[in-house]
Structure 1
Amino acid sequence: MLLTSRLEQYREAILSLPGDRPLTREELLTGTFRLHREGRVEVYYAPHGEYVNPAARLVIIGITPGWTQMELAFRTARRLLGEGVPLEETARLVKREARFAGGMRRNLEDMLEGLGLPRLLGVPDAGALFGGGGGEGEALLHTTSMLRDPVFAGGRNYTGHNPALPASPFLLEAARASLAHELPLLRRPLIVPLGKIVEAVLRHMAEDGFLDSGQVLWGFPHPSGANGHRHAQFAGNREPMQAAAEVFFGGG
């Protein structure tokens, strides 16, 4: 289902983009797609976050889409809209194509496998959750970001630091508002927060009674290759995360 009407709102602007090559920052990081600017922080629209899968049993939450995801999302939306694909199907396929693109997805799949989540969900491997092997497992997964729209700080992908998200009233409120809009549309899935920044926001929301702390897989590292501590973090938290997943899905 569509989260907002923004894909329709931006349809003509997306169709006006070149359709025969990768898109540039000069074409996307413009006033046309800019949603907000505060100091060195800029927020842009991208068609990556317009679809939600309400039947998902597993939800993975990142910080915010980066440039790679943003460009791929626009390029995919440009192609699909140009082919006359309906808005909701365009949004679904854009999310499928762009989510956690690149090496981060491989790292993420390895950690999901390491926790036995594919087995608990009844799929052959983690790749099936991302549309591999015929795509049946894809119906079990929803991916999103707590800052659903791409955020850049000083022109670089925002990582949750500089400015620190908990210390930025604008970004913290944007994250909470985004999750407060999206999570109630889901049917109590297991939530995997990617890294400490996302986890901190979810802890606050759990303390406020917005969600059940028992549905969050606390301690999951951010899968970015830039996180050189992810292997040690995963090894240190693996057993309690496995136990929590088994209990959540009734296997423990």
Structure 2
Amino acid sequence: MPEVLFSHYRDAIRGLDLAQVATPAGIPEQFLLGREGRYSAHYIPFESVYPQARVVAVGITPGFVQWKNAMREAQRQLAAGAADEEVLRAARLTGAFSGAIRPNFIALLDAIGVQRWLGIASCASLFGEDAGLVQVSAVLRHPIFVDGKNYSGSPPMTRKAFLRDQVLRWFAEEAKLLPEALYVPMGGSVGDALDWLAAQGVIRPERILHALPHPSGANAERVAYFLGRKDRAALSGKTNGAQIDAARAALQAQMEALLAAR
């Protein structure tokens, strides 16, 4: 089982004055997991894992705002007398897929046939009665800051020993608990990291769903075209319709192969 640190940080979280933490530099030293040069890693209570999860949505790393929100939710749960497992589950889900991200994510998964592979009517139920089938994660589980700012994927994490160690220590151990899951990388840098883990034998490469558009509202045009909600002739010069067509076809074929192999 992956190492669980929450018991070591429970009291520190209870006593944390979030109003005094305005920037990453203000995070108390007791939450520091490691530092190397410009890079630092800080504890966040994101250790909850659904062992039955079959879809893992993988971001880069929690940012500072997500760190504060998770700590605030953990404090609220602790004050209510929640058990550790419930504290960790609530903290990890805080803010997950808020705004336009959730409906876009559902529609994108349905468009390539993930719901059929899961045996459900629509991936919308992943945020309802089938919530246990989806794991919201990050390839760098604990927040990484570079010169006191959110790490955004550059330089690539696989090129930095400190970041590779973070991936292997936390996310890789989580992935080992979910060998049958599909992995949905939220962005190219995450996809590259998952490919690296596949080369290490941690994840099966055919389970990585590459090139699905990021479901954020800022990516609205690519999402709309992928879903057939916008004509190719109406695309702006920033969107490569042919590339999206190829990605959609490849993902649909990948899901058909996974269905056939069940």
> Does TM, scored on the shorter chain, surpass 0.5?
yes
- Return the match for 1:82 from 79, 104, 113: 79
Counterpart residue identity of residue 196, structure 2 = H
CA shift, 1:251, in A, is 8.9
Counterpart residue identity of residue 238, structure 1 = R
Which secondary structure state, in structure 1, belongs to the residue aligned with residue 115 of structure 2? helix
Distance 1:165-1:230 versus aligned 2 partners, 3 A rule = farther
Distance 1:5-1:173 versus aligned 2 partners, 3 A rule = closer
Q: Equivalent pairs: percent with the same residue? A: 35
Distance 1:241-1:4 versus aligned 2 partners, 3 A rule = same
1:96 is matched with which residue?
93
Asked if 1 retains the 8 angstrom alpha-carbon contact of 2:52 and 2:132, the reply is yes
- Return the match for 2:206 from 204, 214, 231: 214
Taking the aligned partners of 2:173 and 2:75, their CA distance within structure 1 comes to 26
Which secondary structure state, in structure 2, belongs to the residue aligned with residue 9 of structure 1? helix
Asked if 2 retains the 8 angstrom alpha-carbon contact of 1:176 and 1:201, the reply is no
Distance 1:230-1:67 versus aligned 2 partners, 3 A rule = farther
* TM-score, normalised via structure 1 length: 0.82
2:195 is matched with which residue?
203
**Count of matched residue positions in the alignment of Structure 1 and Structure 2:** 244
Taking the aligned partners of 2:244 and 2:169, their CA distance within structure 1 comes to 29
CA shift, 1:170, in A, is 1.3
CA shift, 1:230, in A, is 4.8
> Gaps (5+ residues) in structure 2?
224-239
Which secondary structure state, in structure 1, belongs to the residue aligned with residue 211 of structure 2? coil
CA shift, 1:250, in A, is 4.2
Asked if 1 retains the 8 angstrom alpha-carbon contact of 2:109 and 2:123, the reply is yes
Asked if 1 retains the 8 angstrom alpha-carbon contact of 2:158 and 2:196, the reply is no
Which secondary structure state, in structure 1, belongs to the residue aligned with residue 130 of structure 2? helix
Distance 1:22-1:86 versus aligned 2 partners, 3 A rule = farther
The 10-residue stretch of structure 1 (235-244 or 8-17) with the greater mean CA deviation from structure 2 = 235-244
Counterpart residue identity of residue 27, structure 2 = L
CA offsets 1:107-152 (integer angstroms, 9 cap, x no match):
433422332423443445444313xxxx311011112111100112
User: Equivalent residues in 2 for 1:62-211 (5 A)?
Assistant: 62-130=59-127, 135-161=128-154, 163-211=155-203
Taking the aligned partners of 1:3 and 1:99, their CA distance within structure 2 comes to 22
Detail structure 1 runs of 4+ shifted over 6 Å in the superposition: none
2:36 is matched with which residue?
38
Taking the aligned partners of 1:122 and 1:72, their CA distance within structure 2 comes to 33
Taking the aligned partners of 2:104 and 2:151, their CA distance within structure 1 comes to 20
Taking the aligned partners of 1:24 and 1:160, their CA distance within structure 2 comes to 23
CA shift, 1:226, in A, is 5.4
Taking the aligned partners of 1:7 and 1:36, their CA distance within structure 2 comes to 16
CA shift, 1:57, in A, is 1.3
Distance 1:65-1:238 versus aligned 2 partners, 3 A rule = same
* TM-score, normalised via structure 2 length: 0.79
Taking the aligned partners of 1:241 and 1:97, their CA distance within structure 2 comes to 29
Taking the aligned partners of 2:64 and 2:100, their CA distance within structure 1 comes to 14
1:7 is matched with which residue?
6
